[in-house]
Amino acid sequence: MKPKKTRTRASKVAPVLQSAMIAAVTYFALAALLLLGVTPEQHDIRVGLPATMDILATKDVKDTVTTDQNREAAAAQVEPSYKSADPSTTAAVLSDLDARFNALAAAVEGLSGEAVMNMNDAEFDALNATLELALTRDQMQALADTDPALVKQLAEDTYKLVRDTMNGAVLEGQEAAAIASMGRSLSNSGYTPPLVGAATELMRLCVQPNMLIDEEATEQNREKAREAVDTVIRVKGEVIVRRGEIVTNAQYQMLSSLGLLKEDNVDVPLLAGIALILLMIMVSLALYLARYRRDLLMPKPLSLICLIYVLEVALSLAISQWSAYLMPVSLGMLLISLLIDPRVALWFNVALGMTVSLLAGASNGLFTVAMFSVVMMSLASGPVVVSVFARRMQRTTTLLAGVLVGISNFLVTLAVGLINSAELSTVLTNALWATASGILCGVMCIGFQPLLEWIFNLATNPRLIELSNPSQPILRRLLMEAPGTYHHSIIVANLAEAAATAVGGNGLLARVGAYYHDIGKLKRPAYFKENQMGDNPHDRTDPRVSAAILTAHPRDGAAMGQKARLPEPVLDIIRQHHGDGVVLWFYDKAVKLYGADQVDISAFRYDGPRPHSKEAAVVMLADSIEAAVRSIPEPNPEKVDALIRKLVRAKLDDGQLDESDLTFGDLEKICSAFSTVLTGVFHERIEYPDVAIPPRNEAHEEPVEKPAEKPAEKPEEKTEEAPAPETKEAATDEH
């Protein structure tokens, strides 16, 4: 038992893994297509060289280089903030100044100007070094030749100027200006330039600022000035660099941030944004299918949906090179409506529209008016397509749907353009492109639909209509090799279509399934009662062998159908049209021959499975009822209706309808539909009288007497009565 459970778990897990793999491949394929579409063209340019073409901003971008330059310029214009120095600074400066003047006076005392001029450089430099000064020979000569009283006066005047200046504000960094101002005051007092220069040198060494720069406060003010400068932004569509213009560093950096340079790496934010949006769209679709259409998450239907998804995005990417409004936004919705379900297509249409719209702004950045228009076109065209296909789903209807989608696209694009206050000529041009998009979707759908039908072997209405053609090879074989089975299938098809339509099922699928439900009898047509012409091979066959032959025909039919590439729903009807019912007549015969203890009833059951759909259940009921009704002697509406209800009740009691989702109300509708069809088949007929028909005379000939003729032989009575009652075996269609 354990290996069996393991295989069961594996059989359940395998489709899930396959579906997950299909979804993952689809995700990466769509992401690659979208990135290919939205990634802007890259250029090979260099700073200092002319640009080869005009390059526009694909989205709003900051000019960081220019912005930084403007901010630093604003910060440089901020005046420093100051704080008071140590209060003893003034006294220290005055004391130092007084000491230096005294040292200088003592050094030049006893020197003459001539002696100073006669000093060699080493001696003069030694004198300056002793005084810690950097006086020139002229200044030293002037001090040596000047009256000591005047030098003393110079020292006093300099002292007063420094004192007055220090009592004020000497700002850090502006000491030279203060010293220069004091030097001018000394010049104005009549002192010679050499003496003023000597005094200025002493002040340079002594004067210190009493107001120091507050670095913290100054930097805060400069930062405020930087923040007050607006960021320079180039808006989407603005020319970054013109053709022939020398590329600056600022332009180069903007192009790099936009990912427009060939040496740039992958635009990670763009990649992350596309990946996230696409993931959200696909997750929402998966949740919708898991909630409402779990059957579409199986590998085969999911592969079809994903292929349509990728196909639309790929075609939109190619066509967007001409115009974003020409992209086949509604192609996926048309294909899903025809190949799967219009209600599913309505939801997928929203996802497809959002995905394809990302390509609408590929040349000028995302989130454009064109993108909004594409989304709105998708939303508006969904109900139009569903309304058209709600009545019929033929190939010609597809072209009509495309035209209506084109009209809807025209109106939506016109409205969006008018709201955006665009030029009327541009709006009309875009609207005409959008109209062509709808028609293009219809044409493409007509082209792709048969191909997808063939690849996935789908049971679409056009495909079912093709299969219902009597010229199909299997049906022609059935007509020629098993005519009884063929005519039985025709009546079953009429019953099944009427009943399936009555309960809201696919009447066309039920009809086609009924046409093919007994093709397995082609393997041994003579073993089935409706094909026998007197000889019954079962009379000389063990009942267990007979049962094996009869129960094999659904399996044989499914194998033949697979070889002929019949759609899976039709194959399901072939497999399920007997469920796991019992071949009662041969079971009873075996019990009578061998005894009940020696007979295993499971050997007389069909392989199943039981019907899983309304269409398969309807074909099962129609099959058994058609065979049984032929055995009714002198059928009338009352007998037919009673037999129908009896057989339906028997199938219900046997559990054959448990998995078909049919309700008791549905069963009542099925019985009524069967009764209506069979009443028409077994209607009352008039009895033709036995009358001799006189010979015909030509109109242009004169009537002449003819010798008496013998009375005409009694013609064979031509009736359309039902075939003679058959045995119980035929009534149950067991052989």
- What does the DSSP 8-state code read for residue 705? -
* Residue 51 confidence (pLDDT) above 90: no
**How deeply is 119 buried, as exposed, middle or buried, from its count of CB atoms within 10 A (0-12, 13-18, 19+)?**
middle
* Residue 708 confidence (pLDDT) above 60: no
Q: Which residues of 198-228 are buried (b: 16+ CB within 10 A; e: fewer)?
A: bbbbbbeebbbbbbbeeeeebeebbeebbee
Residue 704: count of CB within 10 angstroms of its CB:
6
Q: Looking at per-residue confidence, does 663 or 230 come out higher? A: 663
Distance CA 371, CA 356 (A): 9
Going by pLDDT thresholds of 50, 70 and 90, the confidence category of residue 313 is very high
Name residue 110's amino acid. G
Segment 465-488 shows an average pLDDT of 93
SS (H, E, C) 624-651: HHHHHHCCCCCCCHHHHHHHHHHHHHHH
Q: Looking at per-residue confidence, does 241 or 728 come out higher? A: 241
Q: What string of DSSP letters covers 602-628?
A: GGGB-------SHHHHHHHHHHHHHHH
Segment 215-241 shows an average pLDDT of 80
φ, ψ for residue 56, nearest 5 deg = -105, 155
- The rounded Cα 116 to chain-centroid distance in angstroms is 96
Distance CA 288, CA 103 (A): 100
Residue 366: count of CB within 10 angstroms of its CB:
19
Whether 569 contacts 509, CB under 8 Å: yes
Distance CA 333, CA 340 (A): 10
φ, ψ for residue 630, nearest 5 deg = -65, -20
* Residue 116 confidence (pLDDT) above 90: no
Assigned token pair, 429:
């041009």
Whether 617 contacts 611, CB under 8 Å: yes
User: What confidence score (pLDDT) does residue 714 get?
Assistant: 41
Q: Which of 539, 500, 415 is nearest to 674 (CA)?
A: 500
Residue 606: count of CB within 10 angstroms of its CB:
23
Distance CA 120, CA 141 (A): 14
Distance CA 706, CA 722 (A): 42
Residue listed under structure tokens 């579906």: 19
* Residue 231 confidence (pLDDT) above 70: yes
Q: Where are the domains of the chain?
A: 90-199, 267-456, 482-687+727-731
Distance CA 636, CA 17 (A): 57
What 3-state class would DSSP assign to 61? strand
φ, ψ for residue 240, nearest 5 deg = -80, -50
Radius of gyration (Cα) for the chain, nearest Å? 52
Q: What angle do CA 249, 254, 256 make, to 5 degrees?
A: 95
Distance CA 350, CA 376 (A): 9
What 3-state class would DSSP assign to 81? coil
Distance CA 123, CA 104 (A): 16
Please write the tens of the pLDDT for every residue from 132-156: 888 888 888 888 888 888 888 888 8
What 3-state class would DSSP assign to 262? coil
Q: Which of 496, 539, 488, 492 is nearest to 723 (CA)?
A: 488
Q: Residues 6 or more apart from 319 whose CB is under 8 A from it?
A: 326, 327, 328, 440
Would the pTM count as exceeding 0.85? no
Q: Residues 6 or more apart from 463 whose CB is under 8 A from it?
A: 453, 567
Whether 199 contacts 160, CB under 8 Å: no
- Asked if CATH classification 1.10.1760.20 holds for the domain at 267-456, the reply, yes or no, is yes
Q: Which of 722, 654, 667 is nearest to 491 (CA)?
A: 722
Whether 80 contacts 218, CB under 8 Å: yes
**How deeply is 137 buried, as exposed, middle or buried, from its count of CB atoms within 10 A (0-12, 13-18, 19+)?**
middle
- What does the DSSP 8-state code read for residue 533? S
Assigned token pair, 402:
């495309």
* Residue 720 confidence (pLDDT) above 50: no
- What does the DSSP 8-state code read for residue 18? H
What 3-state class would DSSP assign to 84? strand
SS (H, E, C) 271-302: HHHHHHHHHHHHHHHHHHHHHHCHHHHCHHHH
Q: Which of 499, 498, 481, 478 is nearest to 489 (CA)?
A: 478
Q: What's the CATH number for 482-687+727-731?
A: 1.10.3210
Please write the tens of the pLDDT for every residue from 444-464: 999 999 999 999 998 888 889
Please write the tens of the pLDDT for every residue from 105-114: 888 877 777 8
Total residue length of the chain = 735
Least confident of 17-31, 489-503, 596-610: 596-610
Average pLDDT over the chain, rounded to an integer: 82
User: What confidence score (pLDDT) does residue 679 get?
Assistant: 80
User: What confidence score (pLDDT) does residue 698 get?
Assistant: 58
Q: Which of 412, 463, 461, 405 is nearest to 436 (CA)?
A: 405
Going by pLDDT thresholds of 50, 70 and 90, the confidence category of residue 710 is very low
- What does the DSSP 8-state code read for residue 568? H
Whether 578 contacts 459, CB under 8 Å: no
Please write the tens of the pLDDT for every residue from 252-298: 777 777 666 655 555 677 788 888 999 999 999 999 999 999 889 99
Residue listed under structure tokens 């249409």: 349
Assigned token pair, 129:
């070094």
User: What confidence score (pLDDT) does residue 363 get?
Assistant: 45
Whether 544 contacts 585, CB under 8 Å: no
Residue 567: count of CB within 10 angstroms of its CB:
20
Whether 144 contacts 112, CB under 8 Å: yes
Cα dihedral 413→416→420→421 (10° resolution)? 60
Q: Tell me which range, 61-70, 127-136, 153-162, is most confidently predicted by mean pLDDT.
A: 153-162
Assigned token pair, 507:
């009447």
Where do runs of H (alpha helix) occur along 358-394? 369-389
Distance CA 128, CA 105 (A): 13
Please write the tens of the pLDDT for every residue from 537-558: 888 888 889 889 999 999 999 9
φ, ψ for residue 82, nearest 5 deg = -125, 160
Q: How far is CA 415 from CA 14, 376, 423, 670, in A?
A: 49, 10, 12, 50
User: What confidence score (pLDDT) does residue 20 get?
Assistant: 92
φ, ψ for residue 652, nearest 5 deg = -65, -45
Distance CA 12, CA 563 (A): 26
